[in-house]
Amino acid sequence: MAFESAHVRTGMERAWILDDVSVPCSSQVVRMPLVEVTLIQGRTAEDLRALISGLTDAVVTSIGAPKESVRVIVREIPATHWAAGDVTIAERSATR
């Protein structure tokens, strides 16, 4: 399985864009771009849906992938389970 990855960081959150996850399908190879996003919990279902749609559209536009082949995985992490410098996001937010 071949892929290229690009790590995108926005503030404390990250997204991995994995391109060319290839899966054999009968006699041809189907390319399925995979975008993985890790976020702190707390967004609405509508916000997450908009994110998925926006990421899908960006992949279709930027690399010409068929929309039905684009995969998006969103992981939500509790603020108590994400730390930097031995301080969780929850602890950091409480001190503001």
Provide DSSP, 32-92: EEEEEEEEES---HHHHHHHHHHHHHHHHHHH---GGG-EEEEEEE-GGG-EETTEEHHHH
Q: Would you say residue 17 has pLDDT above 50? A: yes
* Mean local confidence (pLDDT), 45-54: 98
Between 66 and 25, name the one with better pLDDT: 66
Q: Would you say residue 86 has pLDDT above 60? A: yes
* Residues 79/41, Cβ–Cβ less than 8 Å: yes
CATH number at residue 56: 3.30.429.10
Q: Would you say residue 23 has pLDDT above 60? A: no
| DSSP code, position 95 | T
Tell me the pLDDT band of 84, cut-offs 50, 70 and 90: very high
Active site residue 24: no
Q: Which domain holds residue 22?
A: 4-94
Q: Would you say residue 76 has pLDDT above 60? A: yes
Identified catalytic residue from 24, 33, 66, 78: 33
